[in-house]
Amino acid sequence: MFNDATGAWDGPQMGPLLSDGCGKVYWHMTVGKKYKLCVSDNFYGGAPREYRHKDECCDNAATMDPAAVLTASAAGQRVQAAMQLDVAGLSLKAGDIFAYGSAQSGQTLTKNAYTSLGRDAALTAAIG
């Protein structure tokens, strides 16, 4: 929301504000105030998903600066803002993390986690 006193864009930062089944989000706007809508796909609650999406602002702007300004001119007015979120990459699925190896100094310990690819993603470290 645009702060008239400071001339800066600030709050409210909401989250998680999830979209409905049609991809719509709802927010009660104050008549005459200026808003910019940006989203980030960083909510990890609920069921695992196959993909994560890139952060984006309305009218497909990559950052807040060039994003379109949204303003409600009447109470209860619905203001539409288009977004098409690009896929950022694969998401991780929940799984059991485990470690195996030796706990002795100078030996290798490996930690694995099940990922959405169905393979182990391993991190190996030397204990010292």
Q: What string of pLDDT tens digits covers the 128 residues of the chain?
A: 788 888 888 876 766 677 777 877 788 888 998 988 888 877 766 666 788 888 888 888 888 889 889 998 999 888 888 788 888 888 765 555 666 666 667 777 666 654 444 444 444 444 44
Q: CA of 119: how far to CAs of 51, 66, 92, in Å?
A: 16, 40, 11
The pLDDT score that the predictor gives to residue 100 is 63
pLDDT at 15: 65
Position 27 scores a pLDDT of 80
Give DSSP secondary structure letters for 24-35.
-----PPTT-EE
Rg (CA), the chain: 22
58 by DSSP, 3-state: which? helix
d(CA 4, CA 88): 35
* Residue 96 one-letter amino acid: D
CA–CA dist 75, 96 (Å, integer): 50
Q: What is the pLDDT of residue 21?
A: 77
Q: What local confidence, expressed as pLDDT, does residue 128 receive?
A: 44
pTM of the model: 0.59
